[in-house]
Amino acid sequence: MPRIRDEFRRAQVAIGALFLLLGFQYATWASRLPAVKSRLGVSDAEVGLLLMACGVGAAASFPLVAMLMKRFGSRLLCGASAALLALVPLALGAAPDFPVALVIACCDGVGVACLDVAMNAQGAHLEERFDRKAMGKLHATFSGGSLLGALLASAMNAATSSLEAHFAVSAVLMLLVLAYAQHDLLPHVEAEAEAAPAGEAAAELGAESGVASGCEPAAAHDAKRRRLPLPTRITLWMGLAMAFGTIVEGAMNDWSALYLKNVAKAAAGLTPMGIAVFSITMVVARVCSDSWRKRWGDGRVVVLGSAVACVGLAAAVLAGGVATALVGFALVGLGIASVTPCVYVAAAGQGADALALVAAMGTVGLLAGPGVIGLIANAGGLAWAMGAVALAAAVVAACTSRIRWTSAQDPDTDAETDTDALSSAHDAVPAPSLP
């Protein structure tokens, strides 16, 4: 394949290939769960446990991910985690029993968490280095990868019933994508590592670590390395925004079809259209979001987008009917699409610890959200459940309004933000997305 001459485009394609790889990998083994279930001879509940093990592995691994990011950097972590994820489906297809499959699923979750954080750090670094918006399109390629993985699974399932053959073909394709991408990834140096040459004093003034300025530098440095730093208030706002944003995404994917069937009384052929319109508008919005961010700034795009998602879905539930529901679902996809890319950029500016924690909270939202919405639906009906999803979008708007987003077009956005989180350590190492 001929190399792209433009350095920004070359790096963007390489990082986008990793986003595509992650979506492809998930769709590859998730689409063959019925065959995995049959091969292992397990129940539906045990399949659910298998999926939960993957999510738990991802959510619980954030301290490990932060440590690996600081030690090895995002470029090396991208390569190692992507190679692991390419081989996980092969291991799952060859698992001799359910306990081994659970361990493999947990390892998959750890690999997903590592690649998720590392590739988003690469994307944020790309924007900072070239002063150009790219994260929205990168996240859109994840959906493209999921589509390609599902299409390949369908084709392989029609050609052969062998899980091993399908997963072997998928592994080869993913390793080829990784080989292409690895050469052009950015040499990402973490903010913590960059701070060290500026002097020990700057590194040890971090308010987040709780180290007193009078402590001996070496002892303070050792103490900081021994314990996980407490998140700042601004990091918690980001984490909450990510968690509630993924709750909205997960709930729309899991409950929109049932809402159309049971509440809106749609015909059977129309029930899948809820997921379709949500997914289409989300992909389109992510493709367009980089230009929106450049024009209006991250803060306005995220706050107004999540508000549009809230109002659109709430109005659809109150009005009732199939057409209004589909319009409401489309508005949710349009509005919520920019939340994840923009929050990842902001979290990357706060360092590896913040990025890993925000990613983990997003995973928790994705795992717990649909279940909580199901409990609400069981207690009060799907209309109330969808109202709760609209409320979750409102929480995203409230949380993101507390972040002071830095943008050339919108330097004064959210001037009332909590400034206590911006410690002297952050002044020494400025973050690209936060002042």
Domain assignment of residue 188, yes or no: no
Cα separation, 429 vs 203, in Å, equals 9
Predicted local distance difference test score (pLDDT) of residue 170: 94
Predicted local distance difference test score (pLDDT) of residue 146: 84
Cα separation, 277 vs 421, in Å, equals 39
Does residue 167 share a domain with residue 263? no
Domain assignment of residue 40, yes or no: yes
Domain assignment of residue 221, yes or no: no
Domain assignment of residue 223, yes or no: no
Does residue 259 share a domain with residue 176? no
Does residue 353 share a domain with residue 259? yes
Q: Tokens 């500016």, residue?
A: 349
Does residue 244 share a domain with residue 173? no
Does residue 173 share a domain with residue 242? no
Does residue 143 share a domain with residue 59? yes
Domain assignment of residue 86, yes or no: yes
pTM, full prediction: 0.76
Cα separation, 290 vs 307, in Å, equals 19
Does residue 147 share a domain with residue 242? no
- Tell me which of 142, 167, 182 is where a domain ends: 182
Does residue 147 share a domain with residue 290? no
Does residue 278 share a domain with residue 157? no
Does residue 281 share a domain with residue 163? no
Domain assignment of residue 340, yes or no: yes
Instruction: Write the CATH number for 49.
Output: 1.20.1250.20
Q: Into how many domains does the chain fold?
A: 2
Predicted local distance difference test score (pLDDT) of residue 227: 56
Range of the domain at 156: 7-182
Domain assignment of residue 131, yes or no: yes
Does residue 157 share a domain with residue 239? no
pLDDT digit of tens for each residue in the chain (435 aa)?
A: 556 678 899 999 999 999 999 989 988 887 888 888 888 888 877 887 887 888 888 888 888 998 999 899 999 999 999 999 999 999 998 999 999 999 999 999 999 999 999 999 999 999 989 999 999 999 999 888 888 888 888 888 888 888 899 999 999 999 999 999 998 999 865 544 444 443 333 333 343 333 333 344 444 444 444 455 677 889 999 999 999 999 998 888 778 888 998 899 988 878 888 888 898 898 999 999 999 999 999 999 999 999 999 999 999 999 989 999 999 999 999 999 999 999 999 998 888 888 888 988 888 887 777 778 888 888 888 899 999 999 999 999 999 998 878 654 444 433 333 434 333 333 333 333 333
- Tell me which of 147, 182, 217 is where a domain ends: 182
Does residue 147 share a domain with residue 246? no
Domain assignment of residue 202, yes or no: no
